[in-house]
Amino acid sequence: DIVMTQTPLSSPVTLGQPASISCRSSQSLVHSDGNTYLSWLHHRPGQPPRLLIYKISKRFSGVPDRFSGSGAGTDFTLQISRVEAEDVGVYYCMQATQFPQTFGQGTKVEIK
Amino acid sequence: EVQLVESGGGLVQPGRSLRLSCTGSGFTFGDYAMSWLRQAPGKGLEWVGFIRSKTYGETTEYAASVNGRFIISRDDSKNIAYLQMNNLKIEDTALYHCARYSSQPANWGQGILVTVSS
């Protein structure tokens, strides 16, 4: 199975300031079709997880442009350009390149 | 608007069975693969399994932890995906979500709680 490792596991952030989360996979996420199926999801308590980013850097429908994804191969990053109050919660990276699909441990983002 | 609603959860004893349903609306259900995922209390997200669309033979994939015990199926005439859970274990206790799959779980339902306890 592909192991997804996120850092940090906790991130206190200041409103209006940037935030960054890293995700590393135990093997390359490049699929045989040439795509890299690395996604980022946001999970707030009491709500279902919400897809933010797919295929490394594509924003899902309705996702604000303060969210961006980057990376390649085994190393990926989610960046929030200016954190807003609604951005608190847990962020997960997920790979869908290979079965079983696997998630990172989650990074808890909270306001300082 | 894409909507997914899970039902069928509840309290069940170890070794028993339970079937979850996921009803979709706001999209052409039969065109999409569907996933089941779960979150145990205090834990992170876990992928449970996946069923491809009829175009791709409605074939399935499962996590090792549920393979041989859980079965995913679908009825496109009713816009429903099912998760048949057999021989339930205490460690299957979790909030179960279904998701419309588009290269990854794109739209998620609110989830339904399954508690396995004697």
What stretches of chain A adopt beta strand conformation (E)? 4-7, 10-13, 19-25, 38-43, 50-54, 58-59, 67-72, 75-80, 89-95, 102-103, 107-111
Inter-chain touch B103–A50, beta carbons under 8 Å: no
Contacts of residue B32, Cβ cutoff 8 Å, sequence gap at least 6: B53, B100, B101, B102
**Size of chain B in residues:** 118
Does the pLDDT value for residue B9 go beyond 90? yes
B27 at interface of A, judged by CB pairs closer than 8 A: no
**Quick check: B21 pLDDT over 90?**
yes
At B42 the pLDDT is 93
Q: Which residues of chain A carry a pLDDT beneath 50?
A: none
Average pLDDT over residues B16-37: 97
- Residue B102 predicted with pLDDT over 90: no
Within an 8 Å CB–CB cutoff, is residue A98 touching chain B?
Answer: no
Cross-strand partners of B98:
B36
Asked if the C-beta of A100 comes within 8 angstroms of chain B's C-beta atoms, the answer is yes
Contacts of B105 in chain A (CB under 8 A): 39, 41, 49, 51, 94, 96
Residue range B37-88, pLDDT digits in tens? 999 999 999 999 999 999 999 999 999 999 999 999 999 999 999 999 999 9
> B103 pLDDT exceeds 90?
no
A3 with A94: CB under 8 angstroms? Answer: no
Does residue A57 belong to the interface with chain B, where contact is any CB pair within 8 Å? no
Nearest chain B residue to A38 by CA distance is B104
**Would you place residue B94 in the very low, low, confident or very high pLDDT band (cuts 50, 70, 90)?**
very high
CA distance B1 to chain A (A): 11
